[in-house]
Structure 1
Amino acid sequence: MIHCHPPRAAARSLAVLSMLPIVLDTCAIAGNARWRLDPVAGGYAVLALLALLALTVACERSPEPWARSTQPVESGTSAAAAYNATLDGATVQFDAVAPIEQQADSIPDSSVQPDGPRMTDGTQDVVGSTGDGQVADTAQIVDTTTDTGSIADTPADTALPSDASAWPAGTLQVVSAFSPDGKNIKLRFNKPLDPKSVGAASDFTLLENSQPKAGAIISAQVGADPLFLALNLAPTLAINPALTYVAQAKNLKAFDGQGLDPTKNKAAVKRTAYVHILWHHHQPTYLDPIADQLTSPWVRKHSMKSYYDMASILQGYPDVHLSINLTPVLLNQLIPYYLDRIGEKDLAGKELYVDLKNNSIDEAKFMAKWKGKTDPWIDLLLEDTPEPKVATPKQIGLLYADPWSCVSTSPVLMNRFAAYAALRDKNPATLTKEDLAALKIWFEIAWMDPDFLLGKVKLPTGDTVDLTDVILASAPSNATFTLKMPAGLDEGGRIAWYEKLANRLVAEQYKIMKAVIPIHTVLHYDADLHTGQIEIATTPFYHPILPLVQNTELMGAGQPFDPKPEPAYSFPSDAGAQVKRAMQYMEAALGFKPRGMWPGEGSVAEEVIQHFANAGVLWVATDQQVMEKSGLSPGGSPVGPFCVDTDSKKPGEAGDGQGRLGVFFRNTNMSNDIGFKYQGLTGKEATDDLVANVQAQAPKFGAPDRVITLILDGENAWETFSKEHDGKGFFHTLYQRLEQLQQAGEVISVTGSEYILGNPKRNVPAHPLEGLPQLEPLFAGSWIGGTFGIWIGESEENQAWNYLLQTRQDLAKSGLVQPDPLKPSPVNKKSLEGETWYAFDEVYAAEGSDWFWWYGGDMTSPSNDDSPFDANFRLHLAGVYSHMNAALKLQGKSEIAMPVFKPIIQANPQAPQAPLEPPPVLDGSFVPNESEWSAKGGFFFDSDTAGAQANPDDWMATIFYGFGKFGSKSGLFLAVQHNFDLSSANNAGLGIYLSHKKILNAGTGQVQEDPATTKDRMGGPLGFKAKGAARELWVALGGGKATAEWRKWQTGATTWPALAAGPFGGVVAGPTKGGKLLEIFVPYEDLGIAATDPLEMQLIFAQGPKTLDTAPAVDAKMLVEDPTTAIFVTFVCDARGPKAGNPPLNLYGDLCNLPAPDGKGIVYIAGNDPKLGMKAKWVPNKVALRDDGKEGDEKAGDGLWSLVLPFPKGSNLKYKYTSGKPENEGQWGCTEEFPLTERALDITKDPAKKKVKVTDIFADRPTPSGTPGPKTVVVLE
C-alpha cells in the first residue's frame, strides 16, 4: 500500500484540478477547511472530486494531528475527533497561512521585549509597545532595484491560521523566508503555489542589506507542500550574520491563477528557531505526619485533570518534543498515599480492594485499613452522605465550609456543570442530604480531564475509563455536562445512585492515577537513543528555594532593604542532599535518571551550581529576570542556553569549565502569556500569537542557533480557560501547528537535553556545553522578580526561618549522622537507621518553598486563610523532634525538648471602621457582646497554641481597639480578651507599650519624639518600627483586682520598674469574678500626641519575672500610620480597553457596568489594606478611583482612573480593580477585572524615595497571582 501524507497529497493533486472552479467553503472546524464545488462546474467538478478522493483513499493514512485522540478511543466521540472536519467521510486539510507584511530583522534580539513592571527613578517607560507586549520594528528595508515597499517586522501577523478558508481570494503573497540548514532558503506563501510557474533562478534575488547578491541563488523548486518553495544557494556563498538578507521573487502564480503581488514579494531571511517548552508539575507536601494522611485532594485532582493528559495528548503529535518537570514531592504523595493504599495488592499482584472489571471498590475492607490514610475526600466518597442536621463540623467543612472543600473549583470550570454551580449558589442552610451527595460527585467529575467525560479512554496500563453511561455531554468537545440519572427514582433512590457512583469514581480515578507514571515512561525521550518525545526533568526533592537552604544571606543581592533572619540559616549539606535525593528517587520511580532540573521556583545562584553538577545534572532552567540581573541582555529576549560552572572566577573573568552546567532562561512574557493572556482566547487565537512571537525570535540568516524557552505550571492555568474546556483547543491547535512548522523546518520543538546533545534523527545539531557562551557569576534569584522576596524578608517569613533554624540546630546537636541521600528509605522505620532517616526527611520537608510562599503579606491563598499551611509547616518541625527523640531513645540518650512553635499566621484582623461613638461600656465585660467593640473598632488575634492542647502561656487571645471620646477626653480604647481567668491571677501583670512621635509640621516633616527603648520591663525585645516604646501602662493583677501604673521612659533609664510611676488620667476596668477581659481607656494627653499622630503598640503578659506572652508576637501593631515616613502611592488604572491597544475590559468575564465613557460604571480598587477597603476580607466596589481631573487625576475623561494614598514603606499591597456602581459594594460577580488572581505592589523601603506611581491596565492579568501585571509600570521618585 502506498504511504503518503494525505493533505499534502491532496494539495499536490490540485495541480490536476487547478483549472476547475473549486472554491473554499467558509465552514471549518478547529483547523480543517471543507472544500465545496461550484455547482456551475457540473460533471467536471464531480470527476475532479472523485479523483481527489481516489488519491486520498490510495494512501495509507495516518491520522492528522487534529484528528488524533489524546488516548486511543474505542467508542463514543472523542474530544480530539471534534477537531476533524469531514466531507462525506473524507478528511481534507491544507496547511494554510495568512498574508502578512514581509519581515526584516533589524532588531534581532528584542522583537519580544520584557513588558513586566519597569522600575525607574522619575523617568517614564519609553519602550514602544504595540499593545500586546511586542515592540514594533518600523525600520524599512528598501530595494531600490525593484520597488520601495517597506518590510516591517510585525510578528503578530506571522501566524498560521488553521483553516483554509483564511486563504485570500486575491493575489499570491510571500509570507516568510527561512533557512533550516544554511544551504537553501524556503519561501512560505499564503496559498498553494503553481509549480508550473516556477521558472529560472533569475526570477529570484537574494538581497544583502538591500543590494542584490549576484549568483547567490542557483535553482528553485516546489517541494511536496506547495505552500513552500526551496531556493538552493551557491555552495560558495558567504553569509555575514551582521547583515540583513531578504529573499525576493517574481513571475510566480498560485494554483488559482492569481499572480504574485509585487508589493508582497519578499521577506527577510531567518534561521530555524528552536522552542523548548517545559510544563512544571508540582504539589507541595500536604502530609500530616501525625495522622499519616494528606490534608488536601490536590495531588489526586490534578492527576485526574492534568498530570495524565498533559503527557498523553502528545501521542497524537509525534513530531512535538518537550519537557515535563515532575517533582519528587508530588510523586512521593501520589505513590504511597494513593497507588499503594487504594491499589494495595496481594502476593499474586492483584488489587485487594479495587475491582477493575466492575469499576468498584470494596468499601468495608478498604476503610477498615485505610480510613483516614489517603485524603479526607476519599473517605467522604466511600462513606454514606450524612443528613445535614447530624453532619459533623468536619463533614460540613469538607463539603462546603472549609477553604478546601467540594466547592473549591474555578467558576469558569464549574459553569460547565450547571447542577454543580447551582449547588454552589444554594443557601447552605437549605442543602438536603441529596444535595450533599450530589455535591461530592460533582467535585470529582469537574476535576477530571474532559476526555474522560466524552468517551472511552484506553490507558497505557491496559485499563479503560468510560463514563459515558453516567455522564451526558452537550457536544463532542468544549461541552457542558449533566448526569444520566435513571428516571423515576425517588429521593432515596437518587441518593443511593449517587453513593454507588461515588464508589465507582474512586475506582475510576485509581486507574487514571495508576497510569500517570506509565504514560510518561512510554513517551520518555531518551537522549542517547534519540527516541521518545517527553524529557522528564525534576526538582530538588522537597521543592526548596535551594540558595536559601545553602545560605539565607544570599537574599541580600536582590533584597538590600529587607531584614534577614538572624542568625542565618546555612546548611549546604542539606542543599546537596535535596538535589541528590531527587535524582535517586526519580531514577527508582521512572527507571532512568533525569538530566534536567527546574529548581524550586526557578531559584538558582552561583553557590549552588556545585550541587547540580555533583549530582550529574546536565541543565537547569530559571527565568529571564535572573539572566538580566546576571548582567546579560538587559531588556532583551532570552535565548541560549548559557554555560555556568563551579569555578570561583570573579565577574567578567572566564571560568575554567569545571563542573559545567547548561542554563536555559525562561522567556518571561511569552510564558506568562500562556498562563494568563490566553485564558480568554480561542486555541487558534492563542496559537497564532504564540507562534508569531516564536518566529519573531528566529535568528538572522547566518547567525548562531537560538532556543526560545517557555516554562509554566502545567496544572493550574487550564481550569480558567474560558473559551475551550481545560485549554484543550489550545493544546491541539498548538501541537498541530508545531508539527507543521517542524515538517517545514521553520520551528523545531526540542527538549533541553535534545538541544544540548543533538538529535540527528530530527536534524537537531548538538550544542555542547563547552561551546556555549559562559555566564559568570550566576545571580542569586528566582523566576519571580529575580529575587527571593516571596519566601524571605517579611517578619512572618523570617520567623519561620528562625523556627526551622532552631529545629535544624537541635538535630545537629543530637549527633545523628545525616543519611546518604543516594540511599532509599530504610525498610524498618522503627530502627535507629529508620528514625534517623525520617528525622532528616522531616527537616528536608520543612525546607520546602511552599510553606514560605504563604507567609507574609505578599501572598494570600484564595480562601484568604493561610493557616493550614502554617499548621502543616509546624507539624513537620514536630515530626523532626518525634523521630529524632525516638532515635536518641534507641541509643540510650536523653531526648531534646521541642520548643513551643507558636502559630505564625493569625486569623484576619480588622482595622477600625469609625470612631467608637457611643463609646463602649468600660466594666470588664462585653455588653451585650463584643459587637460593642467590633462593630466600629478594630481587632487582631494572638493565638499561640500550636496544637489541640492549650499552651499554658497563651494568655492573650484577642485585642480590640478604637478611638473616640470618653467623657470630656479623647483617646485610645483597648479591650484585651484573655484565655484564662484573670481574677485568680497573682503576681502577674499586663504591660501595654506605646510609642511617641508628635508631628509639629507635616509639610516640613518636623517632629518631636520622647526618649524610647526597645525593651519591655522583663528585658525582652519590642518590635517597634519607630525608636521604640516611650510609654508603659502596667496593669498589675492580684487578689482579683487590677492596678494601673503609668510610666514615661527617660534618657539614661535602665529598666521600666526603676522609673517612678506618674499620674494616669485613663481608666482600667475589670476583671470581673472569673472574668477574662480588661477594658482600658488611655487619653491622648497622657500619650502626649494628637489623634493624627502616629502610634504603635505591643503588649506583654508576665508572671513574676517571666514574660509569658507577647502580642503581636513579633512586630508592634501600627494603630495610626506615620505620615512623615509614608510613601504616597498614585494608582492609575488604564480602562480604555482595545481602543488604546489594551485587552478587552471584559476579557475574563462579563462586566455589567463598563466604566465611562463606554458605560456608567466607576473603576474601584479592592485590596488587603483598610485604605483599599479591607475589613476581615476584601470589599469590592467600595474605594473608588476618579477620572475627573481632580485630587491626583491628571485629566478628566481620559479613561485613566487615579487614586492617591499614603502607605508605610515596605508595605506589601495586594489588590485588583473592579468596574461597578456604589450599589455593587461587596459584589465580585459581574464587576471584577479577573477572577482568582490578585495584583501586587511591594512598596520600596529605600529612604530616598517619597512617591510611587503604579500604572496598571484593566484586565492585564498577573502571573502568578500576587505579582504585578505584565504591563504594569512602576515609577519611583
Structure 2
Amino acid sequence: MKSKLKVVLCWHMHQPYYREGPNGTFHLPWVYLHGIKDYTDMAKHLENHPDMAAVVNFSPVLLEQLDQYVEELKNYQSSTSHKTNPLSDPLLSVLAGTADIPSNLAQKKRLFEDCQRCYAPRMIEPYPAFDQLMKSMESVFDKISRENESAFDSQTNSPIDSFVEGLEDQKFHDLVVWYHLAWLGHSLKGSKQVTALFEKGHDYSLDDRKQLLSIIYEALSGIIPRYRALADSGQIELSLTPYAHPIVPLLNKFENMKCSSPEAPMPNCDDYPNGVSRSEWHMEKGIQSFQHHFGKKPDGVWLSEGGVSEDAIEMLDKFGISWTASGEQVWRNTCHLNQMDSEEVHNKKALFKPYQYKDHGTQMYFRDDGLSDFIGFEYSHWNADDAAHNFVENLQNIAKFVGDDVEQQVVSVILDGENAWEYYHDNGYYFLDALYQQMSQCEDIEVTTFAKSAKSVTATKVDSICAGSWVYGSFTTWIGQEDKNRAWEYLVAAKKDCDEVVSASALSKDELLELDDQLAICEGSDWFWWFGDYNSSESVNDFDELYRIQLKKLYTLIDKVPPEHLNHPISIGGGNAENSGTMRRNV
C-alpha cells in the first residue's frame, strides 16, 4: 500500500467571556452570531464529507455561553408573552421584542452602528434591500448631525420625534432582522422559512421576528450535540483550551516572554500571584466542562493562542494530555535554542515532525504557518475550486519533498474556525466543500487527527523550549507594550487584593467559587490582545471597557471599592488591523 502524508486540519473555536459576570448583560453578540453562521456551517461541512477528518478545538467559556443563550431562548420560546422572559443580549432582545427600539438619538445611532458590524462587501452589499436600508438610514443620521452637532450626545438623551422619516421603529425592526439574516450560515439559508424572510424584505412583524428567533434557537441548540456526534463516530477529534483562554506561560511567570522577546519591557510589577496554581485551575475547570459537554476527557489541548513553554508542557504532562501544538516560529526558535542546525531545519522538513520536551509524554506539533495563513487570509480572494486545488497541490509537493520518510511526517494546519469566513463568498461554503472533497479523495495524503498521529509517529526529543505563541512566535500580542503591561499591572494588583481577602477566610465556599470564576474571566487572553494602537478604536474601546467592568466586578465580590484607575481607558487603539484585528498572519 502506498505511504501517505499525514495531514491534520485543526479548527480553533473560541470566544471570550462577553457577559458582565455570570448573570449580567452580554456586552457583545459574537457568541451567538458566530454560532448561527460559523459553528453551524463548519459542522455541516463535516457531516457532508464523512471521509474528511479534522480536529475541532473549543474553549470552555464559549461552550458555556452557548448553553446560556440556548437556555434563555428556550425559556423565551415557551413563554406566552414575548415580554415575559427578557434576554441578556441587548441586540437579541430587540429582535425578540423583549426590549423596545430606543427612544433617543444616541441610542438609535448606536443600534444602527451595531448592525453595521460585519464585512459589508460580503454581508450587506449582496442584499439590495439591506444595503438600501443601511444607506437611507445613514443619510438621515448624517442630515441630523449636520443640522445639530450635539444631537447624538449620549448625555443629553435627545428625544426623537416619531415622525422623522427613515428612523421610525419599523425601520429599526427591519434593520435588526436583516442583520441577523445576513449572519445566518449558508447551511441555514436554504429553508423555506428563511427564504420567505429574505423575500419579504421589509415591514417585518413580531411574528416574523419570532420565527427568526426560532431558527436561531434551533441552530444554537444543535451545535454542541452535532460536534459530539461527529466525535463519537470517530470522524473528528475534539480538543480543549484551558477554561477561560488564559496565556498559560504568562500566568506562570512573565519571564517566559524573554526567550522570544529579550528586549521587550516586562510589566512593572511582580509575577502574577500563584500563577501556576491558576493555570492548573483553568485546566481542571476546562476538563470538567469538556467532560460535561462531550462525555469524555480530551486527548489534546490547544493552549490558548498556541502559547507553550517548558512549565506549560510540564503541566499538560501532569494532566495526562497526549498532545499540544503551536506555531512555526516557536519551532524555529526552539530549534535554534537546542542548536539544531541541520539541513532538515533549514529546508523546513523537520517542521513536519512531532517533538517531545525531555521525557514528558505530551507531544508538540507545530503548524505550517504558510498553509494556515493561505486559508485565513488569501484564499478568500480566489475562485473556490482553484484555492482548494492549490492547497492540495501544496500538500502533494510536501509529500514528494519528504520522500521515503513520509509515514513519520505530519503536516499541521491550524487556524481560527470562525473569523476567516466572513471574508469569503457565501461564508466559505464553496471553498470548504471543494477543499474537503479534494483532501479526502487525494491519494497522496491521509487526513487524520493529532491523537491518532501521536500513537504512530515517533517524536523528536528536545532539551529546551523557547516559549512563545502561534503569533510571531512570541507573546508580544499580549505583553511587552505600554498598554498591555498596564493591563497586567491592574490584574496583578486585583489578584493580590483577592488573595488578601481569601487568606483572611472572609468568604464562604460559594463566594470563593464565584470569585474563582470571575477571576478566570479577568485572566482571559483577549483583553490583552486588543490593547495597542494597531487595532481599531471601536474594538479596543469595547474590550477595554468590558475588561475594566470585569475587574470592577472582581472588587465588588471581595467588598472593596474598585480603584480609581479602572474608571479610565487603558488603551484607545486607532489602527486598521487586517480582518478587523481578529486574526494575525505570520507570513
Q: TM-score range by the shorter chain?
A: 0.7 to 0.9
Cα distance in 2, alignment partners of residues 634 and 565 from structure 1: 35
Cα distance in 2, alignment partners of residues 294 and 1215 from structure 1: 25
Quote the residue 1:335 is aligned against.
Answer: 67
The aligned amino acid for 1:873 is: Y
| Equivalent residue for 1:522, pick from 219, 224, 229 | 229
The 5-angstrom pairing of residues 50-129 of structure 1 reads none
Cα distance in 2, alignment partners of residues 385 and 772 from structure 1: 56
Quote the residue 1:717 is aligned against.
Answer: 420
Quote the residue 1:752 is aligned against.
Answer: 450
Q: Does 1:322 align with 2:54?
A: yes
Check conservation: 1:583, 1:615, Cα contact below 8 A: no
Q: Deviations over 1:487-528 (max 9, x none)?
A: xxxxxxx64x33321122112101110000010011105xxx
Cα distance in 2, alignment partners of residues 288 and 444 from structure 1: 23
Check conservation: 1:287, 1:293, Cα contact below 8 A: yes
Quote the residue 1:88 is aligned against.
Answer: none
| Unpaired stretches in structure 1, ≥5 consecutive residues | 1-178, 181-270, 345-352, 356-360, 457-465, 472-482, 486-493, 526-530, 646-654, 758-765, 819-829, 886-895, 909-1167, 1169-1176, 1178-1213, 1217-1234, 1239-1262, 1271-1277
Cα distance in 1, alignment partners of residues 24 and 254 from structure 2: 31
Cα distance in 2, alignment partners of residues 898 and 791 from structure 1: 24
The 5-angstrom pairing of residues 950-969 of structure 1 reads none
Quote the residue 2:430 is aligned against.
Answer: 729
Cα distance in 2, alignment partners of residues 442 and 811 from structure 1: 45
Cα distance in 2, alignment partners of residues 431 and 689 from structure 1: 47
The aligned amino acid for 1:394 is: Q
Q: Does 1:289 align with 2:2?
A: no
Check conservation: 1:288, 1:294, Cα contact below 8 A: yes
The 5-angstrom pairing of residues 181-580 of structure 1 reads 271-289=3-21, 292-336=24-68, 338-344=69-75, 353-354=76-77, 362-364=80-82, 367-369=83-85, 371=86, 373-383=87-97, 390-391=103-104, 393-398=106-111, 400-401=112-113, 405-413=114-122, 414-426=124-136, 427-429=139-141, 431-433=166-168, 434-455=170-191, 466-471=193-198, 483-484=199-200, 495=203, 497-524=204-231, 531-570=233-272, 571-580=275-284
| Unpaired stretches in structure 2, ≥5 consecutive residues | 142-164
Quote the residue 1:1197 is aligned against.
Answer: none
- Shift of the 669–903 alpha-carbon distance from structure 1 to 2, 3 Å rule, reads farther
Q: What SS does the aligned partner of 1:715 have?
A: coil
Cα distance in 1, alignment partners of residues 512 and 405 from structure 2: 58
Quote the residue 1:1258 is aligned against.
Answer: none
Quote the residue 1:879 is aligned against.
Answer: 553
Pairwise CA distance, 1:642: 2.4
Pairwise CA distance, 1:393: 3.2
Q: Does 1:600 align with 2:264?
A: no
The aligned amino acid for 2:191 is: G
Pairwise CA distance, 1:288: 1.2
Check conservation: 1:867, 1:906, Cα contact below 8 A: no
Q: Deviations over 1:548-600 (max 9, x none)?
A: 00011211222222211122323110011112211111101221111111111
Check conservation: 1:866, 1:905, Cα contact below 8 A: no
The aligned amino acid for 1:324 is: V
Q: Does 1:901 align with 2:565?
A: yes
- Shift of the 696–806 alpha-carbon distance from structure 1 to 2, 3 Å rule, reads same
| Equivalent residue for 1:860, pick from 535, 554, 576 | 535
Cα distance in 2, alignment partners of residues 902 and 808 from structure 1: 14
Quote the residue 1:229 is aligned against.
Answer: none
Pairwise CA distance, 1:432: 3.1
Quote the residue 2:160 is aligned against.
Answer: none
- Shift of the 736–636 alpha-carbon distance from structure 1 to 2, 3 Å rule, reads same
Q: What SS does the aligned partner of 2:452 have?
A: helix
Q: What SS does the aligned partner of 1:774 have?
A: strand
Check conservation: 2:552, 2:566, Cα contact below 8 A: no
Quote the residue 1:740 is aligned against.
Answer: 441
Quote the residue 1:227 is aligned against.
Answer: none
| Equivalent residue for 1:781, pick from 460, 465, 468 | 468
Check conservation: 2:535, 2:576, Cα contact below 8 A: no
Check conservation: 1:816, 1:836, Cα contact below 8 A: no
Check conservation: 1:385, 1:437, Cα contact below 8 A: no
Pairwise CA distance, 1:290: 8.3
**Bigger strand fraction:** 1
Check conservation: 2:328, 2:351, Cα contact below 8 A: no
Cα distance in 2, alignment partners of residues 817 and 671 from structure 1: 49
Cα distance in 2, alignment partners of residues 577 and 593 from structure 1: 16
- RMSD of aligned alpha carbons: 2.6
Check conservation: 1:288, 1:295, Cα contact below 8 A: yes
Check conservation: 2:530, 2:543, Cα contact below 8 A: yes
- Shift of the 449–539 alpha-carbon distance from structure 1 to 2, 3 Å rule, reads same
The aligned amino acid for 2:433 is: H
Cα distance in 2, alignment partners of residues 848 and 536 from structure 1: 21
Identity %: 26
Q: Deviations over 1:1176-1230 (max 9, x none)?
A: x6xxxxxxxxxxxxxxxxxxxxxxxxxxxxxxxxxxxx568xxxxxxxxxxxxxx
Return the TM-score normalized by structure 1.
0.41
The aligned amino acid for 1:603 is: G
Cα distance in 2, alignment partners of residues 804 and 607 from structure 1: 21
Check conservation: 2:101, 2:108, Cα contact below 8 A: no
- Shift of the 386–524 alpha-carbon distance from structure 1 to 2, 3 Å rule, reads closer
Check conservation: 2:367, 2:412, Cα contact below 8 A: yes
Cα distance in 2, alignment partners of residues 568 and 636 from structure 1: 39
Q: 630-639 vs 445-454, which deviates more?
A: 630-639
- Shift of the 903–562 alpha-carbon distance from structure 1 to 2, 3 Å rule, reads farther
For the pair shown, the structure with the greater C-alpha radius of gyration is 1
Quote the residue 1:627 is aligned against.
Answer: 331
Cα distance in 2, alignment partners of residues 883 and 577 from structure 1: 19
Q: What SS does the aligned partner of 2:67 have?
A: helix
Pairwise CA distance, 1:313: 1.6
Return the TM-score normalized by structure 2.
0.87
Pairwise CA distance, 1:864: 3.9
Check conservation: 2:268, 2:489, Cα contact below 8 A: yes
Q: What SS does the aligned partner of 2:189 have?
A: helix
**Bigger helix fraction:** 2
- Shift of the 535–384 alpha-carbon distance from structure 1 to 2, 3 Å rule, reads closer
Q: What SS does the aligned partner of 1:814 have?
A: helix
Check conservation: 1:839, 1:881, Cα contact below 8 A: no
Check conservation: 1:840, 1:880, Cα contact below 8 A: no
Quote the residue 2:501 is aligned against.
Answer: 814
Check conservation: 2:44, 2:187, Cα contact below 8 A: no
- Shift of the 368–431 alpha-carbon distance from structure 1 to 2, 3 Å rule, reads same
Cα distance in 1, alignment partners of residues 355 and 115 from structure 2: 47
Quote the residue 1:1087 is aligned against.
Answer: none
Check conservation: 2:94, 2:101, Cα contact below 8 A: no
Quote the residue 2:161 is aligned against.
Answer: none
Cα distance in 2, alignment partners of residues 506 and 424 from structure 1: 22
The 5-angstrom pairing of residues 903-922 of structure 1 reads 903=567, 905=569
Check conservation: 2:487, 2:570, Cα contact below 8 A: no
Cα distance in 1, alignment partners of residues 129 and 25 from structure 2: 31
